[in-house]
Amino acid sequence: MASSFRRASHSCQPPLRFSGFDSKLFALGPASSPGQAKRALEAHLVETERRMAEAGKLGTALVQQQKELRDRLAEVESMQTEGELSHELRQKLSEIERDYNDVARQTARAFLPKQRVPSNEAAAGSPYVPEGKGGRRSVSPSKFESQATGSPTKLSIPNRKLRNQPANRIHDIEFAAEISTSLISQVRNLQALLAEKDEELRDVKADNARLEVDTEGLQQRLKALDESEHRCLGTGKRLTQSLNVLQAEKTKFQRDLDEVKLSHSKLTEEHAASIKQHDIDLGTAKRNIATAENERMAMQRKLDDLLSQNQELARAFSSQRSKISERGAISGMSDDDFETATDNLTPEHSPPPSPVKGTPRHSILDQRTQLHREKTEKLELKRMLQDARDEVERLRGEGGAVTSRRTKKADAKDAKRFSKLLLGGARASREEILADDAEWEEQAGHPS
């Protein structure tokens, strides 16, 4: 029977054992990502649910076995009232107990997690620690000393009633005792295991709640990271647009700068050319000024000559006029009378007179003609003097001297006044002597 229990215990496949969930292993670090933490938490949640389902099934089976054991226990108690067990039966029950303890130890190794305690010390709350051992593990830790029945000290002779019972009845009692003992031990172990599983289940639920809180925190953090990413993307896009605008402005400014540099180089060249041209013009102007100064000096000399000639003519004219006035006084006629006396001597359309010998009248006409000639020469000298002055002023203006607008207007008015006096119908003298022949006699009424 003991061998059958050993085979049954070894034939069953021990279930997998999982360690408790450690929240420190899944703490967020710089290298972990929210996706990895989520997948790890989902895997542990599935494993916890599976273990909870297995614990529920085990509890149901244990309740059923407890019911059956109670029924068998009642049968054994009814059988014990009929007679006591034999010494061999008690020894057999002890062997069954030892075998069951071995099975329980193997089951505990399969189901219970390993406790990190020294080899010579037992963990606190372990059902295998006997009383009075001072926390030290016994030689056989799976032995239930408090539950085992003591071996008989002496052989008891079976009574008559037991001797009269058939052999199969005794075997049934032995089998029932074996089953009861093994089931009781198994129930106690399963109860302890169930309590541990309940405690683990509570821990798992607490861990699950904590993981849910952590998951919610991770989701909020992930949401905040997504929002931050969107904000960063928007900021990056705006910065990219601003960079493009700045690049365009930089290109525009660079183009303007190149144009300004080109214009500056052109202006520099033009300035250099202008300076060179100004130097050339300045040299030319200096030469023109020197030439004009020479011409002015020549004109001044010529003007001085003309002024001297004019003075001589004036003196000659005054002397001639004094002579004429003396002659008129002698003849008893003035100049006006002489001018009016000859107006109606001959008709207008009379033929020209023939040349005659010189008479006093002819000498008067000659002197009058000479007077007109002197007046004409005087006017001509004045005109030439004015032209010389204009030429000098013009040469001064070309030499670099800039006159004001008022001076120009005054010169223009003087030129107009001189031109009106010297040219056209406003001139002072309308007569001009073309021939000066002493033998030619002019008509008195039409002097040419």
Q: In the numeric block, which tokens belong to residue 312?
A: 């001589």
Greatest mean pLDDT range, 250-264, 311-325, 374-388: 250-264
DSSP letter at 428 equals: S
- The helix/strand/coil state of 68 is helix
Which helix (H) or strand (E) segment is 336 a member of? helix 335-341
DSSP letter at 133 equals: S
Q: Is the pLDDT of residue 329 over 70?
A: no
Q: Which of 362, 354, 373, 358 has its CA nearest to residue 338? A: 362
Domain spans of the chain?
2-115+126-131+139-151+162-237
Q: Which residue has the higher pLDDT, 115 or 89?
A: 89
Minimum mean pLDDT range among 114-123, 318-327, 404-413: 114-123
Q: Which of 159, 148, 225 has its CA nearest to residue 188? A: 148
Q: How far is 267 from 259, CA to CA, in rounded Å? A: 12
| Predicted local distance difference test score (pLDDT) of residue 138 | 42
How many C-beta neighbours within 10 Å does residue 122 have?
A: 20
Q: Which residue has the higher pLDDT, 147 or 324?
A: 324
How many C-beta neighbours within 10 Å does residue 398 have?
A: 13
| Predicted local distance difference test score (pLDDT) of residue 164 | 53
| Predicted local distance difference test score (pLDDT) of residue 51 | 77
What proportion of the chain, given as a percentage, has pLDDT over 70? Answer: 52
For residue range 125-182, list pLDDT tens digits in order. 444 444 444 444 444 444 444 444 444 444 445 555 555 555 555 566 667 677 777 7
Minimum mean pLDDT range among 207-211, 228-232, 319-323: 319-323
| Predicted local distance difference test score (pLDDT) of residue 133 | 42
| Predicted local distance difference test score (pLDDT) of residue 270 | 93
In this structure, which amino acid lies at residue 204?
V
| Predicted local distance difference test score (pLDDT) of residue 169 | 56
Q: What's the average model confidence in pLDDT over 332-341? A: 49
Q: What's the average model confidence in pLDDT over 413-421? A: 50
| Predicted local distance difference test score (pLDDT) of residue 277 | 92
Q: Is the pLDDT of residue 3 over 90?
A: no
| Predicted local distance difference test score (pLDDT) of residue 111 | 52
How many C-beta neighbours within 10 Å does residue 245 have?
A: 10
Greatest mean pLDDT range, 154-158, 165-169, 297-301, 328-332: 297-301
Q: Which residue has the higher pLDDT, 89 or 447?
A: 89
DSSP calls for 157-226: PP-HHHHHS-HHHHHHHHHHHHHHHHHHHHHHHHHHHHHHHHHHHHHHHHHHHHHHHHHHHHHHHHHHHH
Q: Is the pLDDT of residue 193 over 60?
A: yes
| Predicted local distance difference test score (pLDDT) of residue 342 | 44
DSSP letter at 395 equals: H
How many C-beta neighbours within 10 Å does residue 298 have?
A: 11
| Predicted local distance difference test score (pLDDT) of residue 254 | 94
Q: How far is 442 from 356, CA to CA, in rounded Å? A: 11
Residues contacting 310, CB < 8 A, separation 6+: 378, 381, 385
Q: How far is 175 from 171, CA to CA, in rounded Å? A: 6
| Predicted local distance difference test score (pLDDT) of residue 244 | 94
pTM, whole model, 2 decimals?
A: 0.26
**319 pLDDT tier (thresholds 50, 70, 90):** confident
What proportion of the chain, given as a percentage, has pLDDT over 90? Answer: 18
Q: How far is 211 from 232, CA to CA, in rounded Å? A: 30
**Under 8 Å between Cβ of 369 and 320:** no
Q: Is the pLDDT of residue 196 over 70?
A: yes
Q: Which residue has the tokens 């060249």?
A: 269
**55 pLDDT tier (thresholds 50, 70, 90):** confident
Q: Which residue has the higher pLDDT, 351 or 228?
A: 228
| Predicted local distance difference test score (pLDDT) of residue 163 | 54
**Under 8 Å between Cβ of 108 and 142:** yes
Q: How far is 293 from 287, CA to CA, in rounded Å? A: 10
Q: What's the average model confidence in pLDDT over 108-120? A: 50
**373 pLDDT tier (thresholds 50, 70, 90):** confident
For residue range 223-234, list pLDDT tens digits in order. 999 999 999 999
How far lies 422's CA from each of 15, 146, 371, 425, in Å?
A: 149, 170, 18, 9
Q: What's the average model confidence in pLDDT over 365-377? A: 82
Average pLDDT, the chain: 69
